[in-house]
Amino acid sequence: MTDSSSVTEQRTERAAERSCLACRKQAAKPELLRLVVDEEGQVLPDVLQKAPGRGAYICWHGTCFSRLRDKQLAHAWKRTSIAAGQVVALPQRVERAVLMLCRQMLQRRLSLLSIGRDAVMHRMWAKAPMLLLLADDAGAALVRQVRDACDKRKAAKLKTALVIFGDSATLGDLVQREAVSVLAVDDSPASTNLRKYCLWYGQLRETE
């Protein structure tokens, strides 16, 4: 006889999974980006998964956005007229939405950030878990220095999350500077969402 509680748990687990519009792989809802359609047929990102209406889901990866086609959007919202050009406009909308969340969270922590090579390398000696954001146009010497320091922290069993995060102008804008090649903040439980959004932004910029 099947335990009714285990059956309920299995159904809940299945219900919490969704398929990516582009690659069709299944994943837990919190690991995917929810999309919604407004009254004008514009497909918009619902990063916090709280917007009303029917939603569809896509992986947080640039490759899936590059694979997305109009017919997949039309199939997801069969009874809704989707405006033209949504496949082209969507990636930029998603990046802007995630950047806004990252900017809000980083600016709340400005006094806790280490910004720039010297400040970050000094902080590498700390034992606290660390979130590192490195610009994709940082110089080769800085990249080697940061990666070597991350390897040493790993050897010392210290946790470090390294995210390649846009260019130095984008990273600087998040913390009200002209340009920033690298910054660090403690990867504490209070920074869970910040780490998640930063990782998502990094994945959006990845392609096969």
Domain boundaries, the chain: 4-90, 109-204
The burial of 93, by beta-carbon neighbours within 10 Å (0-12 exposed, 13-18 middle, 19 or more buried), is given as: middle
Handedness of CA 155, 160, 161, 164 (dihedral sign): negative
Q: Residue 202 has what pLDDT?
A: 87
Measured CA to CA, the distance from residue 85 to residue 83 in angstroms comes to 7
For residue 115, pLDDT over 90 is answered with yes
pLDDT at 3: 57
Q: Do domains 4-90 and 109-204 have the same CATH topology?
A: no
Q: Is the pLDDT of residue 12 over 70?
A: no
Matching residue, tokens 């130095």 = 168
Per-residue confidence (pLDDT) for residue 7, from 0 to 100: 44
Over residues 118-147, the mean pLDDT reads 96
Candidates 3.40.50.720, 3.30.1330.30, 3.40.50.620, 3.40.50.80; correct CATH number of 109-204? 3.30.1330.30
CATH superfamily, domain 4-90, is YlxR-like (3.30.1230.10)
The predicted pLDDT at position 8 comes to 45
Compute the average pLDDT of residues 33-43.
96
Residues of the chain above pLDDT 90, percent: 82
Q: What's the pLDDT score for residue 100?
A: 95
Per residue in 149-206, pLDDT (tens digit) is 999 999 999 999 999 988 999 999 999 999 999 999 999 888 889 999 999 998 898 8
Task: Report the C-alpha gap between 121 and 160 in whole angstroms.
Answer: 13
Beta strands in 20-165 (DSSP E): 26-28, 33-37, 43-46, 56-58, 114-115, 130-134, 160-164
DSSP for 122-141, written as a single string: HHTTS-S-EEEEE-TT--HH
Beta bridge partner(s), residue 17: 28
Q: Is the pLDDT of residue 4 over 90?
A: no
